Amino acid sequence: MLAIENIVFAVFTVLSGALLTISYLAYRKRKNRRMLLLTLVFLLFFIKGLVITASLFFELLDIYWLVVVFGGFDCLAVLVLYFSTLKV
């Protein structure tokens, strides 16, 4: 039986992948710098989801290091979102 965290991170990965695709298509249509930054954030979340999901399903990495490394990814994502909202 699958643990709940496996299902949650699998859903997180699929959702971030879908949002990455949508934001990339929106960027291609409008060529808006803010949309490009948003696409970058969704790419970071998608990579995070892929690595965590793979490590949970296949027990590849120690979960402590995942929390530390992806805590940094989350901080980077928040900073990119902040800069995308600035009026430049």
Instruction: Identify the pLDDT of residue 13.
Output: 85
Instruction: Identify the pLDDT of residue 25.
Output: 92
Q: How many domains does the chain have?
A: 1
Handedness of CA 45, 73, 75, 34 (dihedral sign): negative
In this predicted structure, the answer to whether residue 88 has a pLDDT above a threshold of 60 is no
Q: What is the pLDDT of residues 27-83, one digit of tens each?
A: 999 888 888 888 888 898 888 888 887 777 777 666 667 667 777 777 787 787 777
Q: Residue 42: which residues within 8 A CB-CB, separation 6 or more? A: 16, 19, 20, 23
Please give the residue range of the domain that contains residue 78: 4-85
